[in-house]
């Protein structure tokens, strides 16, 4: 009895830039940590910044856009030659 094993390998090529969602989550995490540090050391009013980050994340999930994503996409259009070419992934089957 002969058994054939197939594995799928994913090959991804990028243009060297992060996808917009990854940039947004990195920005949100950084601002949230900064806000928590400022709230702990200076004033609890800095927690309003954390709430604003949370609202923006919910807005991004619900609509696909938030103020930060609009700014990032406009900045990326000026730096990328082809904005539609963020990530291209294909999978191949190996035997």
Q: How far apart are CA 53 and CA 18, in angstroms?
A: 20
Does the pLDDT of residue 49 top 50, yes or no?
yes
What integer pLDDT is reported at residue 55 of this predicted model? 92
Q: What is the pTM of this model?
A: 0.61
Task: Express each pLDDT in 63-75 by its tens digit.
Answer: 988 888 888 888 8
The mean pLDDT value for 81-90 works out to 52
SS3 content of the chain, % helix, strand, coil (to 5): 60, 15, 25
- The overall average pLDDT reported for the chain is 78
26's tokens: 């990195």
Percentage above 70 pLDDT, the chain: 66
Q: How far apart are CA 22 and CA 87, in angstroms?
A: 12
């Amino acid at each position: 009895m002969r058994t054939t094993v197939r594995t799928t390998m994913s090959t991804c090529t990028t243009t060297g830039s992060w996808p917009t969602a990854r940039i947004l989550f990195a920005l949100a995490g950084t601002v949230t940590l900064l806000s928590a540090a400022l709230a702990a050391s200076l004033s609890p009013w800095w927690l309003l910044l954390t709430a604003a980050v949370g609202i923006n994340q919910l807005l991004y999930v619900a609509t696909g856009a938030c103020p930060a994503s609009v700014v990032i996409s406009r900045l990326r259009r000026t730096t990328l030659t082809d904005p539609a070419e963020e990530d291209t992934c294909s999978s191949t089957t190996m035997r």
